[in-house]
Amino acid sequence: MMENNITSNNTPLEEEEDIILEVKNLKQYFDITTGFFKTTPLKAVDNVSFKIKRGETLGVVGESGCGKTTLGRTIINLYKPSSGDVIFEGLNISPYSDLKKIKKEKSFELKSLKYEKNKKIKLKKKELDDLEKKELEENLDVSRDYQKDLDEFISKTNEQYLIDKDNLIKEYDQKYLDKEEEINKAINKAVKAKENALAKLETVTKESDLESISKVDLELAKLKEEYDEIISNAKEERNNGIILAKQNKIKRQAAFNKMKEDYNALEKKLALELKTSNDEAKEKELNEIKKDHLNDILVTKEKNKGAYKVDLSIAKSKFQTAKAKALKDLKKKEYDARRNSKYYSYLDDKEDIIDTCNRSVKRIKSSSRERMKKFRKNCAMVFQDPYSSLNPRMTVQDIIAEPLDVNHLYSTEEERRSKVLHLMKLVGLSPEQSTRYAHEFSGGQRQRIGIARSLAVNPKFIICDEPVSALDVSIQAQVINTFADLQKKLGLTYLFIAHDLLVVRHISNRIAVMYLGKIVEIAETNELFDNPMHPYTTSLLSAVPMPDPNMARENKRIILEGDVPSPLNVPQGCPFHTRCPKAKDICNIDVPKLKEIIKGHFVSCLLYDEKEESVKETIEETLDSNIENNDTNEAINND
């Protein structure tokens, strides 16, 4: 057995290759109401971790209800995960990871822990009650001495029960307290970190502020002085302008008075001349001169008035312009002085520190939305049912173009149409069919429409959720081949969910087997088929139909007894122990972990646990029986 360390961060596929998607400890629990004010977690996906290489196809198989589809939908975020991380091209797109949600998740864990504790105590009590009852029934006729022994045994059993019960309560209480303490510690740590950072910042800012503020203040005072000087100069200039305007006004008034005097003298002279000559032509000339002079006087009066106003406004506006310019310069210089000073760099630091603290306490929701948007552009899903996953009211071209519309991936109608036709051609549909509705197509063609729609955003990664299970066998082959061709052409990566092992084998590079929300085995395709290690995988493979009747006769079919347990009430210990043909006593107590048994081959089974004494024998036994079955499996390979 290989030494292995699968931890929460140590997922299968260890070599640092070109990993496109990493799923870490992904959980999808649904709260189901099971009574008044009582909910029980339904563990649809429970602590699933894996990585997918670029260009690879990872098949996921398992019975109905094992959580395959929920896993796919949780990865693409159609369901918000209860906890865990989905990392796409190095970007964590889990939306729940803020403190509040971590707290919620932890309280959920505490709830589960409490629930498990009560369940285990109940079971233990029932076990001891049954034992007591059985012993009593079997020993009705025994002698008094034996009865005494029996009493002693019962009292011992009761004592043991009390000890066990106390121990269990203590153990779980401790776990509960530890968890609670852990959460409180984490919250306190985050809050303290923020407080410390802020306190540190305050101290640093205060110390440095004094020095930097005084420097800035000096600089600002200097700037203010400069400004005051500019303003006082401008004021002086303005006052000079006003004085000059007033002087000009006086000059103009004097000229005007002179003009009036001249006119009056002229008028007197002409009146005298008119009196003596009594000449009509002279009178006319006189009136003309009077009129002209009157006009001149009025015009000059108005001109003088306007000139004074203009002089004044020029002087004032010059001042206003100079003041505004000086103010603007001052503001700019002040801003630069503050900006370049240490004081402002501390303010920037403060913002940085607060930002960092906030990020550590709570991941910013908007960035999570951005990451999700980016992820959705690179990731698509093909749904199981080609009948219900297409809108019957939309034409095929509109269905395929919907992701283009949502993500604004075209600039003209022409471009949109040519993209749709290209996608239709890619999946083997003809352009004439673009105006038809979904009900006018066969099942296989509808699934092709679904594939074309998923390719519209030019994704790197596609989750195929049982894409061929609703199709008949001949169509299945066509669609599977379409998937394989597209992968070759476009370098796509698939998470291929199906329950048909032969289909998954045909297309997958690696296969993960799921049971009750957990991955129980994961390995390269050929390795898994040639050397299945988990009893559940072995039984699934034994049910694969064989084309050769002789081989089919020789094939030992392992029929599992009982139904898959409800994920609402997952059995204790190994979840498969209620149906496992190889189950041991320890299997209903210990929970197996996914461990690397052979390079790249991970199994979750206690048979391969190093603590088990018979581990080596068991592996040898399993390997021997697998070698026997290899000949039979060879036939499937060749088929």
Angle separating helix axes 413-426 and 443-455, nearest 10 degrees: 130
CB of 579 to ligand SF4, least distance (A): 8
Q: Which of 162, 170, 168 lies closest to 120, judged by CA?
A: 168
Out of 75, 501, 512, 607, point to the residue binding ligand SF4 (CB under 6 A): 607
The span from the CA of 24 to the CA of 51, in Å, is 8
| Tokens coding 521 | 């085995």
The span from the CA of 513 to the CA of 534, in Å, is 9
Secondary structure of 134-175 in the HEC alphabet?
A: HHHHHCCCCCHHHHHHHHHHHHHHHHHHHHHHHHHHHHHHHH
Out of 282, 333, 377, 582, point to the residue binding ligand SF4 (CB under 6 A): 582
- The neighbouring-strand residues paired with 48 are 26
Contacting range for ligand SF4; rule: CB under 6 A; set: 82-90, 166-174, 296-304, 603-611: 603-611
Collapsing DSSP to helix, strand or coil, 379 comes out as strand
Contacting range for ligand SF4; rule: CB under 6 A; set: 269-277, 347-355, 377-385, 570-578: 570-578
Contacting range for ligand SF4; rule: CB under 6 A; set: 140-148, 165-173, 456-464, 604-612: 604-612
Q: How many residues does the chain have?
A: 639
Interior CA angle at 270 toward 268 and 273, to 5°?
Answer: 110
Name the residue nearer to ligand SF4 (CB basis): 580 or 594: 580
CB of 625 to ligand SF4, least distance (A): 14
Radius of gyration of the chain (CA): 46
Contacting range for ligand SF4; rule: CB under 6 A; set: 177-185, 216-224, 317-325, 572-580: 572-580
The span from the CA of 194 to the CA of 358, in Å, is 8
**Site size for ligand SF4 (CB under 6 A):** 14
Q: Using the Cα atoms of residue 208, residue 209, residue 212 and residue 214 in order, give the sign of their dihedral.
A: negative
Contacting range for ligand SF4; rule: CB under 6 A; set: 33-41, 190-198, 462-470, 601-609: 601-609
The span from the CA of 389 to the CA of 448, in Å, is 12
Contacting range for ligand SF4; rule: CB under 6 A; set: 140-148, 386-394, 540-548, 576-584: 576-584
CB of 495 to ligand SF4, least distance (A): 24
Q: Is 577 in the site for ligand SF4 (CB under 6 A)?
A: yes
- DSSP 8-class letter at 395: B
Q: Is 401 in the site for ligand SF4 (CB under 6 A)?
A: no
Contacting range for ligand SF4; rule: CB under 6 A; set: 245-253, 264-272, 304-312, 605-613: 605-613
| Tokens coding 590 | 């210990």
The helix or strand, by DSSP H or E, that contains position 513, with its residue range, turns out to be strand 510-515
The span from the CA of 607 to the CA of 591, in Å, is 12
Sequential DSSP letters for 521-581: EEEEHHHHHHS--SHHHHHHHHTS--S-HHHHHHS---PPPSPPPPGGGPPSSSTTTTT-T
CB of 580 to ligand SF4, least distance (A): 3
Answer whether 53's CB lies under 8 Å from 37's CB.
no
Q: Is 59 in the site for ligand SF4 (CB under 6 A)?
A: no
Residues 506-535 that bind ligand SF4 (CB under 6 A): 534-535
CB of 46 to ligand SF4, least distance (A): 15
Out of 606, 622, 629, 636, point to the residue binding ligand SF4 (CB under 6 A): 606
Name the residue nearer to ligand SF4 (CB basis): 483 or 576: 576
Name the residue nearer to ligand SF4 (CB basis): 397 or 539: 539
Q: Which of 446, 455, 468, 450 lies closest to 379, judged by CA?
A: 455
Q: Is 583 in the site for ligand SF4 (CB under 6 A)?
A: yes
How many CB atoms are closer than 10 A to CB 453?
A: 25
CB of 7 to ligand SF4, least distance (A): 20
Residues 293-332 that bind ligand SF4 (CB under 6 A): none
Name the residue nearer to ligand SF4 (CB basis): 69 or 622: 622
| Tokens coding 318 | 């010059």
Q: Is 175 in the site for ligand SF4 (CB under 6 A)?
A: no
Contacting range for ligand SF4; rule: CB under 6 A; set: 37-45, 107-115, 452-460, 580-588: 580-588
- DSSP 8-class letter at 434: G
Q: Is 592 in the site for ligand SF4 (CB under 6 A)?
A: yes
Answer whether 461's CB lies under 8 Å from 492's CB.
yes
Name the residue nearer to ligand SF4 (CB basis): 196 or 614: 614
CB of 560 to ligand SF4, least distance (A): 11
Out of 576, 594, 622, 629, point to the residue binding ligand SF4 (CB under 6 A): 576
The span from the CA of 450 to the CA of 144, in Å, is 79
Q: Is 605 in the site for ligand SF4 (CB under 6 A)?
A: yes
Q: Is 438 in the site for ligand SF4 (CB under 6 A)?
A: no
Q: Is 62 in the site for ligand SF4 (CB under 6 A)?
A: no
Collapsing DSSP to helix, strand or coil, 634 comes out as helix
Out of 19, 580, 594, 636, point to the residue binding ligand SF4 (CB under 6 A): 580
CB of 535 to ligand SF4, least distance (A): 5
The span from the CA of 51 to the CA of 74, in Å, is 15
Residues 465-494 vs ligand SF4: string with x where CB under 6 A?
A: ------------------------------
Out of 71, 574, 594, 636, point to the residue binding ligand SF4 (CB under 6 A): 574
Q: Site residues (CB under 6 A) for ligand SF4?
A: 534-535, 574, 576-577, 580, 582-584, 587, 592, 605-607
